[in-house]
């Protein structure tokens, strides 16, 4: 297809703007990675920190040598994997019937789901619920409450609705149950949306800190982000407020390099995991594009 000059200019400007957008998103991470690999002297210099002029692995040694962080890593991984798998499974089971127009009381159920998404009773009843179910201090307290969210259900439901009905019809005629249709037909065709929802869920679990702070009292089961907050707040003004002059812990000053290294260590697995999902993504999109 021959492009007009106007279209060529447009394409060029498009590329430029997108490249700029890409660089802007990249910079803060470059900065952090650079600081994490810098020596203390280099980290303190006021510069753009695009790359470390003096390299040192001391910060990483400190971070990885902290047993709490390694433990927290495992906990966060467990929570993320378990949470994502459960969420995907349950969301699909919920979204499929809702995508069928013939489901009795369909509108009502959807409204109920939205209603619950909008209203929040506050952390007191949520805490009491978890406590009464005996889930305190366990990974289930982090995974079960977030399993079903209206947003996920609706996204998957909408995707299911775009899958042609004829596929399900023909299966039904041959005697397949609804469950079979869901697992054998709909889910395999929904890999792009499942990958997306799965990714969101995984990221949410990886980054969650508030619920772990509430429900996990055992240090050995704590998750990464809550621990991170502790590292960052180590020498904070909150300590002063409690009323001891020396308590701001001037002797435990967390250097910027260590903070930066902790950050990098925290996000590394996601960065490694993401390219795989993206590949799946593209394949899924192609697959999903197959029409009858």
Partner 1 sequence: MKTHSTFTYRRHRELLLLILPVMAIFVLFNFGPLIGLVIAFKDYMMSHGILNSPWVGLENFHRLFASEDFPRALRNTVVIGLLRMTFGFILPIVLALMLNEVRIHWFKRGVQTLTYLPYFFSWVILGGIFLMLLGSDGPVNALIQSTGHSPVNFLSNNGWFLVVLVATGVWQSAGYAAVIYLAALAGIDPGLYEAAAVDGANRWRQTLHITLPCLIPTIVVLLILSLASILNAGFDQIYNMYNPMVYDVADIIDTYVLRRMQTLDYGLATAAGLFKSVVGLILAVGANWLAKRISHGEHGIW
Partner 2 sequence: MTSREILFLIVTVLLISAAVALIPTAPRNAAPAVTAVKWDAVRDDPNERLKISWASCALFPSGKSDTWIQRHLEQVFNVEFDPIFMDVPTLHNRQPLMFSGGDIPDLCWHGEPLAVQRCIHQGFVLELPYELILKHAPTYVKNLNRYGPQAWLYSRYKGRNYGIPTWASGDVFPLVDLWRKDWLAKVGITKVPDTLDEFHTALWKFRHEDPDGNGVKDTYGTCPEPWWGMFFQNIFSAFSVLPQDLMMRDGRIVWGGIQPEAREALALLRQWYAEDLFDPDFAAASASSPTLRKFSSGRIGYYYGSASWHSLDLNNPGSIYTTMKQVDPRVELVPGPALIGLDGKRHARVWGGPGHVVWFSRDLAKQPEKVIRVLKIIEAFAANPDLFIASRLGKRGEHWEWSAQRGVHLLPPYDQPPNDKRNLLSIKDLENCWGFFSFCSVPLSETEPLLPKGMPAWRKTYSDPAWGMMNALGKSDVVPSAATLEDLRAFQIKVYTQIIRGDKPLAYFEEFAKVWRERGGDALLAEANQKLAEREAIYRTVGVIAAPTPPATP
Q: Which residues bind partner 2 (CB under 8 A)?
A: 40-41, 44, 46, 66, 68, 105, 107-108, 111-112, 115, 123-125, 127-129, 131-133, 213-214, 217, 219, 229-230, 232-256
Shortest Å, Cβ 74 to partner 1: 18
Select the residue interacting with partner 1 from 58, 171, 185, 274 (CB under 8 A).
Answer: 274
> Would you say 196 or 211 has its CB closer to partner 2?
211
Residue 252 contact among partner 1, partner 2, none, beta carbon within 5 to 8 Å by kind: partner 2
Residue 219 contact among partner 1, partner 2, none, beta carbon within 5 to 8 Å by kind: partner 2
- Token reading at 245: 């002059």
Does position 2 interact with partner 1 (CB under 8 A)? The reply is no
Quick count: other Cβ atoms within 10 Å of Cβ 179?
10
For residue 36, report the phi and psi dihedrals to the nearest 5 degrees: -65, -25
Does position 5 interact with partner 1 (CB under 8 A)? The reply is no
Quick count: other Cβ atoms within 10 Å of Cβ 33?
19
DSSP string over 136-159? TTSTHHHHSTTS--HHHHHHHHHH
Select the residue interacting with partner 1 from 8, 12, 22, 247 (CB under 8 A).
Answer: 22
Distance in angstroms between the alpha carbons of the first and the last residue of the chain: 28
* Total chain residues near partner 1 (CB under 8 A): 97
Are the C-beta atoms of residues 217 and 136 closer than 8 Å to each other? yes
Shortest Å, Cβ 136 to partner 2: 9
Rounded CA-CA distance 200/76 in Å is: 15
Contacts of 221 (CB under 8 A, 6+ apart): 75, 137, 138, 139
Distance of CA 34 to the CA centre of its chain: 24
Q: Which stretch binds partner 1 (CB under 8 A): 60-68, 72-80, 124-132, 243-251?
A: 124-132
- The interface with partner 1 within residues 30-69 (CB under 8 A) comprises 31-32, 46-49
Does position 117 interact with partner 1 (CB under 8 A)? The reply is yes
- The interface with partner 1 within residues 143-202 (CB under 8 A) comprises 144-145, 147-148, 150-151, 154-155, 158, 162, 172, 177-179, 182, 192-193, 196, 200
User: Residue 108's closest CA among 118, 98, 117?
Assistant: 98
- The interface with partner 1 within residues 222-251 (CB under 8 A) comprises 225, 228-229, 232
Q: Which stretch binds partner 1 (CB under 8 A): 51-59, 62-70, 106-114, 239-247?
A: 106-114
Quick count: other Cβ atoms within 10 Å of Cβ 118?
8
Residue 21 contact among partner 2, partner 1, none, beta carbon within 5 to 8 Å by kind: partner 1
Dihedral (CA of 179, 183, 187, 188) sign: negative
Residue 82 contact among partner 1, partner 2, none, beta carbon within 5 to 8 Å by kind: none
Distance of CA 246 to the CA centre of its chain: 38
């Amino acid at each position: 297809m021959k492009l007009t000059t106007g279209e060529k200019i447009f394409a060029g400007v498009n590329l430029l703007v997108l490249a700029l957008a890409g660089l802007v998103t990249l910079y803060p991470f470059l900065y952090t990675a650079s600081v994490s690999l810098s020596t203390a002297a280099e980290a303190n210099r006021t510069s753009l920190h695009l790359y470390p002029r003096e390299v040192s692995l001391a910060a990483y040694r400190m971070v990885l040598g902290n047993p709490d962080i390694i433990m927290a890593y495992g906990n966060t991984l467990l929570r993320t994997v378990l949470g994502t798998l459960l969420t995907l499974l349950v969301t699909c089971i919920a979204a499929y019937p809702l995508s069928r127009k013939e489901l009795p009381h369909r509108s009502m159920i959807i409204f109920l789901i939205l209603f619950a998404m909008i209203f929040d009773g506050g952390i007191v009843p949520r805490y009491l619920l978890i406590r009464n179910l005996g889930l305190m201090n366990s990974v289930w307290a982090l995974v079960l409450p977030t399993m079903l969210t209206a947003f996920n259900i609706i996204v998957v439901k909408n995707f299911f609705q775009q899958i042609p009905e004829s596929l399900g019809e023909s299966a039904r005629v041959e005697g397949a149950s609804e469950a079979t249709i869901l697992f054998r037909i709909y889910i395999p065709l929904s890999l792009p949306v499942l990958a997306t929802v799965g990714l969101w869920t995984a990221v949410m679990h990886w980054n969650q800190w508030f619920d772990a702070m509430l429900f996990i009292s055992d240090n050995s089961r704590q998750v990464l982000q809550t621990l991170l907050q502790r590292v960052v707040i180590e020498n904070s003004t909150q300590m002063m407020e409690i009323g001891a002059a020396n308590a701001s812990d001037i002797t435990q000053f967390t250097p910027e390099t260590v903070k930066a290294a902790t950050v990098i260590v925290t996000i590394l697995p996601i960065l490694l995991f993401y390219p795989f999902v993206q590949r799946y993504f593209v394949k899924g999109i192609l697959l999903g594009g197959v029409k009858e």
